[in-house]
Structure 1
Amino acid sequence: MKFLWSAVAVTAIWAGEAVAQERDDAAQLRRDDVVVTAARTNLPASALPLTVDVIDRETLGRQVAVSGSVVDAVSALLPAFSPTREKITGVGETLRGRSPLYAINGIPQTTPIRDGARDGYTIDPFFIDRVEVIYGSNALQGIGATGGVVNQVTVGAPRTDGWSGRTLLQGNSGDDFAGAALGGKLAGLAAFRSGRVDATAGVAFERRGAFLDGRRRRVGYDGNQSEIQDTDTLSFFGRVGVDLSDTARFEVIANRFRLQGNNHYVPVEGSRVRGIPATTRRGETPGQPSTGVAQMVSASLSDGDLAGGAFTLQGFYNHTSDTFAGGILATFQDARIAPVGTLFDQSRNVSRKLGGKVSYERAVPGLEALTLTAGFDALFDRTAQMLVQTNRSWVPRTDFRSLAPFGQGNLKLFDGIVRLAGGVRYENVALDVPDYTTLATSGARFVTGGTPAFARALWNGGVVLEPVKGVRAYGSYAEGYTIADIGRVLRAVSQPNVRIDDFLDLTPVISNNRELGVEVTQGPLVASATYYRSSSEAGQVLVRNDDGIFNVNRQPVDIAGLELNLDVRMPWPGLKIGTGYSHVTGRTDTNADGRLDADLDGANISPDRLNLNLDFSRGRVSARAQGRWYLSRRFEGQPIANDFAGYRLFDASVAYELTGGRVMLSVQNLGNTDYVTYYSDTQGPTDNARFYTGRGRNFTLSWQAGF
Structure 2
Amino acid sequence: MRFPLLLTAALLPLATAAHGQEAPPPQEESETAPIIVTAARTALPLTALPLTAEVIDRETLARQLQISGSVVDAVAALTPSFSPARQKLTGQGETLRGRSPLFAIDGIPQTAPLRDGSRDGFTIDPFFIDRVELILGSNALQGIGGTGGVINQVTVSAPADDGWSARTVLQGTAESGFRDDGFGGKVGALIANRSGAFDVVVGAAYERRGVFRDGEQRRIAPDGTQGDLQDSDSLSFFAKAGVELGGGVRIEAMGQRFHLSGDGDLIAVAGNRANGLPATGARGMVQGEAPENLAESLSLTLTADDLAGGALRVRGFWNRTADIYGGGIFADFQDPAIAPIGTLFDQSQNISRKWGVNASWERGLGPLNLVAGFDLLTDHTVQVLAQTGRAWVPPTDYRSIAPFGQANLALWDGKLRLAGGLRWENVEISIDDYQTLWFYGPQQVGGGSPSFDRVLPNGGIVVEPTSGIRAYFSYSQGYTVPDVGRITRAIRRPNVDLDTFLDIAPVLADNREVGVEVKRGPIDASATYFWSDSNRGQLLVLVGDVFEVQRQRIEIKGIELNLTTQTPIPGLKIGVGYAHLDGRVDTNGDGIVNADLDGANIGPDRLNLSADYTNGPVSLRLQSRTHFAKRFDGGDPRNDFGGYTLLDGSVSLATNLGIITLAAQNLLDKQYIDYNSDTQRPADNLRFFAGRGRSITIGWLGQF
Q: Which TM-score band applies after superposition, normalised by the shorter structure?
A: over 0.9
* CA displacement at 1:330 relative to structure 2: 2.6
Which amino acid is the alignment partner of residue 128 of structure 1? I
Aligned residues of 1:49 and 1:476 also touching (Cα < 8 A):
yes
Partner of 2:513: 515
* CA displacement at 1:221 relative to structure 2: 0.9
* CA displacement at 1:81 relative to structure 2: 0.3
> Deviations for 1:456-499, whole angstroms, at most 9, x for unmatched residues?
00000000001121111000000000011111111122222221
Partner of 1:57: 58
Partner of 1:604: 601
Aligned residues of 1:26 and 1:57 also touching (Cα < 8 A):
no
Partner of 1:196: 197
Partner of 1:126: 127
Q: Distance in 1 between matches of 2:592 and 2:200?
A: 58
Q: Distance in 1 between matches of 2:26 and 2:314?
A: 31
Q: Distance in 1 between matches of 2:247 and 2:656?
A: 36
Aligned residues of 1:505 and 1:554 also touching (Cα < 8 A):
no
**For 1:506, what is the secondary structure of its paired residue?**
coil
Partner of 2:574: 577
**For 2:303, what is the secondary structure of its paired residue?**
strand
Partner of 2:645: 648
Partner of 1:144: 145
Partner of 2:501: 503
Q: Distance in 2 between matches of 1:125 and 1:570?
A: 32
**For 2:629, what is the secondary structure of its paired residue?**
coil
Partner of 1:414: 412
**Is residue 443 from structure 1 mapped to residue 446 from structure 2 by the alignment?**
no
Q: Distance in 1 between matches of 2:460 and 2:405?
A: 15
Which amino acid is the alignment partner of residue 384 of structure 1? V
Q: Distance in 1 between matches of 2:497 and 2:470?
A: 52
**1:246–1:613 distance in 2 versus 1, CA, 3 Å:** farther
Aligned residues of 1:431 and 1:453 also touching (Cα < 8 A):
yes
Which residues of structure 1 form unaligned runs of 5+?
A: 1-22
**Is residue 657 from structure 1 mapped to residue 654 from structure 2 by the alignment?**
yes
> Deviations for 1:171-207, whole angstroms, at most 9, x for unmatched residues?
0000011110000000000011111111110000000
Q: Distance in 2 between matches of 1:390 and 1:270?
A: 32
Q: Distance in 1 between matches of 2:325 and 2:418?
A: 47
> Deviations for 1:599-644, whole angstroms, at most 9, x for unmatched residues?
1000000100100000112210111100000000100011000101
Q: Following superposition of structure 1 onto structure 2, how do residues 104-503 of structure 1 map, counting pairs within 5 Å?
A: 104-245=105-246, 247-364=248-365, 368-503=366-501
**For 1:63, what is the secondary structure of its paired residue?**
helix
Q: Distance in 1 between matches of 2:86 and 2:64?
A: 17
Which amino acid is the alignment partner of residue 641 of structure 2? F
**1:462–1:431 distance in 2 versus 1, CA, 3 Å:** same
**1:135–1:468 distance in 2 versus 1, CA, 3 Å:** same
Q: Distance in 2 between matches of 1:276 and 1:494?
A: 38
Q: Which of 321-330 and 94-103 deviates more? A: 321-330
Aligned residues of 1:347 and 1:386 also touching (Cα < 8 A):
yes
**For 1:416, what is the secondary structure of its paired residue?**
coil
> Deviations for 1:98-122, whole angstroms, at most 9, x for unmatched residues?
0000001111001121111111111
Q: TM-score, normalised by structure 2?
A: 0.95
CA RMSD of the aligned region, Å?
A: 1.6
**1:670–1:223 distance in 2 versus 1, CA, 3 Å:** same
Q: Distance in 1 between matches of 2:606 and 2:330?
A: 35
Which amino acid is the alignment partner of residue 629 of structure 1? T
* CA displacement at 1:158 relative to structure 2: 2.1
Q: Distance in 1 between matches of 2:247 and 2:496?
A: 59
Q: Distance in 2 between matches of 1:216 and 1:629?
A: 22
Which amino acid is the alignment partner of residue 54 of structure 2? D
**Is residue 552 from structure 1 mapped to residue 549 from structure 2 by the alignment?**
yes
**1:235–1:174 distance in 2 versus 1, CA, 3 Å:** same
Partner of 1:564: 561
Q: Distance in 1 between matches of 2:542 and 2:699?
A: 40
Q: Distance in 2 between matches of 1:680 and 1:569?
A: 38
Q: Distance in 1 between matches of 2:67 and 2:95?
A: 21
Q: Distance in 2 between matches of 1:575 and 1:330?
A: 58
> Deviations for 1:43-81, whole angstroms, at most 9, x for unmatched residues?
000000000000000000110111110001000000010
* CA displacement at 1:31 relative to structure 2: 4.2
Partner of 1:11: none
Q: Distance in 2 between matches of 1:31 and 1:642?
A: 47
Q: Which of 193-202 and 156-165 deviates more? A: 156-165
Q: Which of 470-479 and 153-162 deviates more? A: 153-162
Q: Distance in 1 between matches of 2:322 and 2:657?
A: 40
* CA displacement at 1:546 relative to structure 2: 3.6
* CA displacement at 1:232 relative to structure 2: 0.4
* CA displacement at 1:25 relative to structure 2: 9.8
Q: Distance in 2 between matches of 1:495 and 1:561?
A: 40
Aligned residues of 2:26 and 2:522 also touching (Cα < 8 A):
no
**Is residue 93 from structure 1 mapped to residue 94 from structure 2 by the alignment?**
yes
Partner of 1:628: 625
**Is residue 537 from structure 1 mapped to residue 535 from structure 2 by the alignment?**
yes
Q: Which of 496-505 and 86-95 deviates more? A: 496-505
Q: Distance in 1 between matches of 2:397 and 2:688?
A: 37
Aligned residues of 1:124 and 1:257 also touching (Cα < 8 A):
yes
Give aligned-pair identity as a percent. 56
Q: Distance in 2 between matches of 1:377 and 1:111?
A: 17
* CA displacement at 1:246 relative to structure 2: 5.7
* CA displacement at 1:587 relative to structure 2: 0.7
2:583 to 574, 586, 589: 586
* CA displacement at 1:228 relative to structure 2: 0.8
Q: Distance in 2 between matches of 1:248 and 1:468?
A: 36
Q: Distance in 2 between matches of 1:491 and 1:444?
A: 11
Q: Distance in 1 between matches of 2:367 and 2:166?
A: 41
Aligned residues of 2:264 and 2:289 also touching (Cα < 8 A):
no
Aligned residues of 2:185 and 2:207 also touching (Cα < 8 A):
yes
> Deviations for 1:516-539, whole angstroms, at most 9, x for unmatched residues?
110111111111110111101010
Which amino acid is the alignment partner of residue 255 of structure 1? Q
Which amino acid is the alignment partner of residue 523 of structure 2? L
Q: Which of 326-335 and 399-408 deviates more? A: 326-335
**1:216–1:633 distance in 2 versus 1, CA, 3 Å:** same
> Deviations for 1:403-442, whole angstroms, at most 9, x for unmatched residues?
0000000000011110000000000000101111222222
Which amino acid is the alignment partner of residue 403 of structure 2? P
Q: Distance in 2 between matches of 1:673 and 1:24?
A: 29
Q: Distance in 2 between matches of 1:161 and 1:562?
A: 46
Which amino acid is the alignment partner of residue 272 of structure 1? R
Q: Distance in 1 between matches of 2:159 and 2:153?
A: 18
Q: Distance in 2 between matches of 1:217 and 1:412?
A: 59
Q: TM-score, normalised by structure 1?
A: 0.95
* CA displacement at 1:223 relative to structure 2: 1.1
Aligned residues of 2:134 and 2:150 also touching (Cα < 8 A):
yes
* CA displacement at 1:552 relative to structure 2: 0.5
**1:93–1:26 distance in 2 versus 1, CA, 3 Å:** farther
Which amino acid is the alignment partner of residue 577 of structure 2? G
Which amino acid is the alignment partner of residue 485 of structure 1? D
1:671 to 657, 663, 668: 668
**For 1:94, what is the secondary structure of its paired residue?**
coil
**Displacement over 6 Å in runs of 4+:** 23-30
**For 1:139, what is the secondary structure of its paired residue?**
coil
**1:522–1:24 distance in 2 versus 1, CA, 3 Å:** closer
* CA displacement at 1:263 relative to structure 2: 1.1
**For 2:61, what is the secondary structure of its paired residue?**
helix
Q: Which of 29-38 and 211-220 deviates more? A: 29-38
**For 2:367, what is the secondary structure of its paired residue?**
strand
